Amino acid sequence: MIKIFIDEKKIEAKENQTVLQAAKENRIKIPHLCYHPALKPSGSCKLCGVEVISPGGKHVVMLSCILKVKENLEIRTDSEMVKAHRKKAFNKLLQMAPDAGRIRSLAREWGVEVTPPPDGCIRCRLCIRVCNEIVKARALKMVADETGSRVVPEPGRCIGCGTCANLCPTNLIQVKDQEGVRTISIKDDIIGQLPLERCEGCGNLYATENFLKHVEESMGLHPDTKEHHRLCPSCTKLLSNRAVTERERIKK
C-alpha cells in the first residue's frame, strides 16, 4: 500500500491507482464528469483538478483522474488555486453546453459561480425604448440581479399592443391570443395578460381595451380627430378603399 495525504489526511492507496480512485475509496469528494471506472481516463472535463505539492515545494494543479499515487504525495482538493482552476473548467464546459443542467447543478454543489444560462435576450433594449419613447406605456425596464441585467415587466402597465414583440430581434418576446385573451411574455415572465375587444365591422377579436383607450387618449386632442370607430386593420383598409372609390366616382 502507498501512503498519501489528501487535505492533510493520511490515507492508503493501492499501487497504480489514480488520486481520484484513491479519493473515492476513502469517500473524499472531487468533482468530475468524464471519468468512468470501466474506461481509461482522458481528463477531458478538467473538473477533477487538485493542487499537488512537489518535494521541492512547488504547487501545481494536476488532474486527479490521471495522476498516479506516489509515496507521501500531498494533495489539496479545495485550495484557492484549485477553486480558480475549477471555475475556469466549469465555465469552459458551459461555453460548449450552456443549457446543461447537470453541469450547472454540479457547479452549485461545489459553490462555483458560473456564467448565467443564455435566455435569448441580447440586451439591445429595443423593447424598452419603443415602449417608453413611442408607445409611452413604460411597461418594461432593465434590472440587475445576481445573474446580470435582464428585461422585466412593470406590473399593470402593459396595454397589449405587441410592439415590443414586433421589434424584438431574437423573437424572445411572444404574443399569444387565446380564448379572447392576449398574453405577452418574455420566456416565463408575463408582461401583460389582457382581454381582447371585437371589431365593430367584422366582429373578430383584434385589440385589447387598454390599447384602444390608449390610442383614443393619445389622439383626443388632435384637431382633425373624428369620432372613433373600433375597427380592425382589415376593416379600416376596406373602408378607406371604399372612401377613395367613392371620391373618384364623385369627381367623374
Sorted by where each begins, the domain ranges of the chain are 2-109, 126-251
In tens digits, what is the pLDDT along the chain, a chain of 252 residues?
899 999 999 999 999 999 999 999 999 999 999 999 999 999 999 999 999 987 778 899 999 999 999 999 999 999 999 999 999 999 999 999 998 999 999 999 999 999 888 888 999 999 999 999 999 999 999 998 766 788 999 999 999 999 999 999 999 999 999 999 999 999 888 999 999 999 888 888 889 989 988 888 877 655 544 456 788 878 877 877 665 565 566 665
Which residues are bridge partners to 59 per DSSP? 53
- Residue 59, CA distances (Å) to 50, 98, 115 in order: 10, 32, 28
In contact, 107 and 114? CB cutoff 8 Å: yes
In contact, 76 and 50? CB cutoff 8 Å: yes
**pLDDT given for residue 221 in this prediction:** 55
Whole-prediction pTM: 0.64
C-alpha cell at 240: 378607406
The helix-helix angle for 101-109 and 80-96 (nearest 10°) equals 170
**pLDDT given for residue 84 in this prediction:** 97
| Nearest alpha carbon to residue 139 among 131, 150, 148 | 131
Which residues are bridge partners to 196 per DSSP? 208
**pLDDT given for residue 55 in this prediction:** 75
**pLDDT given for residue 225 in this prediction:** 45
Coil, helix or strand for 105? Answer: helix
Rounded-to-integer distance, Cα 244 and Cα 242, Å? 5
**pLDDT given for residue 217 in this prediction:** 81
- Residue 40, CA distances (Å) to 63, 66, 144 in order: 14, 9, 45
**pLDDT given for residue 188 in this prediction:** 84
Which residues are bridge partners to 52 per DSSP? 60, 75
**In whole angstroms, how large is the CA radius of gyration of the chain?**
32
Coil, helix or strand for 168? Answer: coil
**pLDDT given for residue 91 in this prediction:** 95
**Between 3.40.50.620, 3.30.230.70, 3.40.640.10, 3.10.20.740, what CATH number should domain 2-109 receive?**
3.10.20.740
